[in-house]
Amino acid sequence: MTLQPIDWAIVAAYFVLSTGIGLYFTKRGGESLDQYFLSGRQVPWWLAGAAMVATTFAADTPLVVTGLVATKGVAGNWLWWNFVMSGMLTVFFFARLWRRAKVMTDVELAEVRYSGKPAAFLRGFRAIYLAIPINLIILGWVTRAMIKILTISLGLHDVSVLGITMSGDVVAVGICFVITVAYSVAAGMWAVLWTDLIQFIIKMSAVIVLAVYSVRAVGGIDLMKIKLVEHFGSERAALSILPVRVGADGFHAYAWMPLLTLATYLSVQWWAAWYPGAEPGGGGYIAQRIFAARTEKEGVLATLFFQIAHYALRPWPWIVTGLATVILYPNLVDKEAGYVHAFVDLLPTPWRGFMLAGFAAAYMSTVGTHLNWGASYLVNDVYKRFLKKDKTEAHYVGVSRLTTVLLFIASIGVTSQLSSVEKAWEYLLAIGAGTGLVFILRWYWWRINAWSEISAMVASLVVSILAFIYVKPMFAANDPNAIAVIMLVTVACSTVVWVVVTMLTPPETDATLESFYQRVRPGGPGWVTVSTRLGYGREPIPGGALAWTNWIAGIVAVYATLFGIGKIIFGYTGAGLLMLAVAAAAFYWISRSFVGEGAEASA
């Protein structure tokens, strides 16, 4: 692909803007750990929400979605659409509680909810576990995806840097990485948030433009639907929003999504499996944004905006382009690479430069968040908690900056060892299966203790590894039922383990339980013993029964918006408008929860 001077100018302008934001917030971000990792807890909901969306839009995301729709049709996205239900739980059941906890990281909650050496061990272990292996794997796979993108789009020649010969693609990614590290190190969360917002605008604009050009290249939507039949066998197989079909001979699932697999996704995976950005009960960098919000209400609004934008608004440009690649590149072996080929072949100047900046933005927004997020664990939950407890804020900020650089260096080594993004993703899902219920119940059942979490994590890891060794070989290669069975076995076994461990180990002390309850006020029948002892009586959960109706309304609203937009895009306007009307009614119901709710004092 040949880039013109204006294309390079657009890319350069983006890098200058990102660097400028970092320099602008350097002084403010260096004032304290609270400023460096949480922006002083003064972030408006729209900025926190946009940052959540930007972080989950990595350089590899459009490629993964393209691969899904090219091989499985639109319904292939149920592999991740099922997490809407978990996300809405976070909005209406956990966002307020996270904000009330007044912690700097989600793992710090361990020593708020539990006590003694088990709590301290859990906090330190999870901090190291999330900051190093998990975080570095994610950084490695998005870097690997970015190298793939540049390899196809630019095909840069080898270059010599300080006497060392390296691939030009690696050097280009290195430039993105170094700039991201620069503003992340200098200004911390303030720079990450504002660059996330700019990056989100750039990359969403770029993928929408590419979708438009892709549709034009195949002759328009109507002709696209006709040509898709040649690949998928029917229009329904290509465009159906459900991975099932109803025929004269009954109800059937498509081969790539057997009913067992679909049932597992819809009834088990969303609440049972831990995965970055979709943690049951919230957590990770989603929780970090909630902590940074100005108030409880703004934390809830930020998380709600994230669920809507992430699942309902953002996917269609990727999906449309992915479907176009099936027609444009029917013989392409690497289906994911079709997205990059479309970018190279279809976009003219200056949109080529804009799209290249968009890919850089997608990559840098994810990297910036993960560097800051990982450093927050290592500094707040390991260094400050266990090694140096009484240093100045300036000292901790300096250590945070150094830690960010060290994470960057470590991620380079991990990237060189990752041969498959898919395998890394599969690994993360497997080791997180079975822990979700503990992360949910710790907020609403007093009997959960530190050993509950520890045993759930250990059991999930051990059982999932054994299942991959002994269960997966029982299935044919690429049989989707294999992963479903592994998920079910892991969840069942780990649940039995942590429930038994919980009942055989002593509960947390009354003082710990009472302190947690007074701090968070979770309410509900699971805390009635503690709340009654404290004189509160039987309190409802935040939002009361309305939280349950809002959860259902939120799921309906997101899915109805997602499917309604899709129907309109593909010419089924009546059905699409009806779905959007249902979504509007659901959103109206949710909005009633916020009427009259004042802006409580920031904490």
pTM summary value: 0.89
Is residue 451 in a domain? no
Region 126-153 average pLDDT: 83
pLDDT per residue over 286-330, tens digit each?
999 999 999 999 999 999 999 999 999 899 999 999 999 999 999
- Domain boundary, last residue among 432, 456, 478: 432
Is residue 491 in a domain? no
pLDDT per residue over 3-54, tens digit each?
789 988 998 998 888 888 878 888 787 778 888 888 889 999 999 999 999 8
Say what percent of the chain tops pLDDT 70.
90
Is residue 310 in a domain? yes
Between 186 and 385, the more confident residue is 385
Q: Write 495-500 long-range contacts (CB < 8 A, 24+).
A: 495/434, 495/437, 495/456, 497/455, 497/456, 497/458, 497/459, 498/438, 498/452, 498/453, 498/455, 498/456, 498/459
- Structural domain that includes position 585: 543-603
Is residue 547 in a domain? yes
Q: In Å, how far are 12, 66, 180 from 8, measured between CA atoms?
A: 6, 26, 19
pLDDT per residue over 515-560, tens digit each?
999 999 999 999 999 999 999 999 999 888 889 999 999 999 999 9
Q: Give the CATH number for residue 115.
A: 1.20.1730.10
Q: State whether 428 and 547 are in the same domain.
A: no
- Domain boundary, last residue among 374, 397, 432: 432
Is residue 264 in a domain? yes
Is residue 591 in a domain? yes
pLDDT per residue over 196-253, tens digit each?
888 889 989 999 999 999 999 999 999 999 999 988 888 888 888 877 665 555 555 5
Q: State whether 418 and 566 are in the same domain.
A: no
How many domains does one find in the chain?
2
Report the candidate in 449, 373, 451, 367 with the shortest Cα–Cα distance to residue 414.
367
Q: Is the pLDDT of residue 599 over 50?
A: no
Instruction: Annotate 535-580 with DSSP letters as a single string.
Output: T--SPPPTTTHHHHHHHHHHHHHHHHHHHHHHHHHTT-HHHHHHHH
Is residue 468 in a domain? no
Which of 241-250, 253-262, 339-348, 356-365 shows the lowest per-residue confidence on average (mean pLDDT)? 241-250
Is residue 176 in a domain? no
Residue 602: band (very low, low, confident or very high) from pLDDT cuts 50, 70, 90: very low
Q: How many CB atoms lie within 10 A of CB 305?
A: 19
pLDDT per residue over 404-463, tens digit each?
888 888 887 777 665 544 455 556 666 667 788 999 999 999 999 999 999 998 998 889
- Domain boundary, last residue among 411, 432, 453: 432
Query: From CA 574, how far away is CA 595, in angstroms rounded?
Result: 32
